[in-house]
Structure 1
Amino acid sequence: MMNHLKTQRLALAATLSCALFLPLAALAAEPEIREATIIVSGEGEAAIAPDMAVLGLSVVREAETAEAALKANSQAMAEVIADLKAKSIADRDIQTSAFSVDPLYRQDKADDDTYEAPVIVGYRVTNGLTLRVRDLSQLGALIDAAVKLGVNQGGGISFTNDNPDAAIAEARKKAVAEAMDKARVLTEAAGVKLGRVIEISENFARPMPQPMYRAAMAKEMADAAPIAAGENEYTVTVNITYAIAQ
């Protein structure tokens, strides 16, 4: 009898427990109400004159043997580097960017209109420099002097800024101001109030270097090459998510 009563009590307790937890489970299953938001974006730009140029120069020499081509190339490049250093270009601003030794081939035509196997007739040695010029007033004269000392292949000049942080900060401020202004206009037009900031993100890309000079270089250059630096434009896009005040 006692065991039967105990079993009934346990069953009643289990039933009551299930009844208590059912409402909680039902509440947990209800979908969460999503906060009303507004997403706006703004773009800011800041343009500043470049204060540094990155210049590519190459010395190319050909000879019947690899040793002779390498010797001629090394001699010419040594003179170029010595001249650059004499013009106060620091070691940190002179960097070898490419070096190659390539065979030169000749392929003759046979009597039966087929081609004979190619044969090596010489070698070409190419030695490239990447040069950072921090005094832009020197740029034209540096190119002219380098050509006269043996540089016979030119890369491109790209103008950049050593430290563009101030310009980027200005562009950010303009982007945020534009985004905030958009948010105020939209909420006023919709008859709602702007709430707290939920999220801010930005997209920023440095301006692509613009090649300003690219050509095979002639030793006949008598005057310093004219160079126009222009301006670098830094652009920042800001995305802001606001809550709509309820």
Structure 2
Amino acid sequence: MIMKSIATLALSALAAPALAQTMPVPVQTISGTVLDVTAEGQSTRTPDLATISAGVVTQAADAAGAMRENATRMERVIAALKRAGIADKDLRTASISLQPQYRYGENQPPVITGYQASNSVTVKFRDIGKAGLILDALVATGANQISGPDLGLDNPAAAMDEARLDAIAKARARADLYARAAGLSVKRILSISENTMETPRPLPVMMRAQGMVAEAAKSQILPGEQELRVNLSVRFELQ
């Protein structure tokens, strides 16, 4: 009988922590007035990173010839990028394609007249001021397809935090305004939810190079300014 009682006590001791873990957390009661406020915070930065797509399009009578010519010219383009100081981590193959070219005749099946090969790489420029000169070198080296840039920040964390602080300050100021108008005061924040937004990045007009080296010599990228935004929904308790 004594042994049975000891066993029962031991089981009870083991079960107690498990029961404590499953106990629901008490819900905090709200005794005052609830106010929901939406506020937008902003921060502005000059972009320090430009991403473009540069590639080569070649044509030949047969598929192998089109790919061979494309590979030769693309090798020169990549070598030019590396000579300009672009690191391997900032070069990534974007696409490679080979497509037949057709001649269409009335009431006739299409006839293959040749093949077109294309190869493009995504390039990140961390020194935007030199991007235009590098693009000119690419065209001179054999690139005949350029698009972009996509301008942004290499490390946007600090700018986003600045926008968050701006948003919460605006939300609190607005809550104080409503509370004073109602003869109340802000007691506490009940919840915060965030929606991150980003304004369209400036997209300078870029040339699509087709052997026009003289015009390419005027290429330049203007970074402008980028605005980062954070939209907060904040719930306050007023008393």
Per-residue displacement from partner, 1:175-213 (whole Å, max 9, x unpaired)?
111110000110101112221211111111244444323
In the TM superposition, what are the counterparts of 1:156-167 in structure 2 within 5 Å? 156-167=148-159
Q: Does 1:190 align with 2:190?
A: no
Q: Distance in 1 between matches of 2:189 and 2:31?
A: 16
What SS class does the counterpart of residue 213 from structure 2 fall into?
coil
The range that moved more, 72-81 or 154-163, is: 154-163
Q: Does 1:78 align with 2:70?
A: no
In the TM superposition, what are the counterparts of 1:24-173 in structure 2 within 5 Å? 36-109=33-106, 115-173=107-165
Q: Distance in 2 between matches of 1:176 and 1:108?
A: 66
CA RMSD of aligned residues (A): 1.7
Contact 1:40 1:239 in 2 (8 A): yes
Matched residue type, 1:36: T
Question: Where does the alignment leave 5 or more consecutive residues of structure 2 unmatched?
Answer: 1-28
Question: Where does the alignment leave 5 or more consecutive residues of structure 1 unmatched?
Answer: 1-31, 110-114
Larger radius of gyration, structure 1 or 2? 1
Q: Distance in 1 between matches of 2:67 and 2:99?
A: 11
1:178 aligns with one of 170, 193, 196: 170
Distance 1:107 1:33, change over 3 A: closer
Contact 1:158 1:212 in 2 (8 A): no
Matched residue type, 2:188: R
Q: CA deviation at 1:224?
A: 4.1
What SS class does the counterpart of residue 163 from structure 1 fall into?
coil
Normalising by structure 2, we get a TM-score of: 0.82
Distance 1:34 1:196, change over 3 A: closer
Matched residue type, 1:236: V
Q: Does 1:236 align with 2:230?
A: yes
* 1:21 corresponding residue in structure 2: none
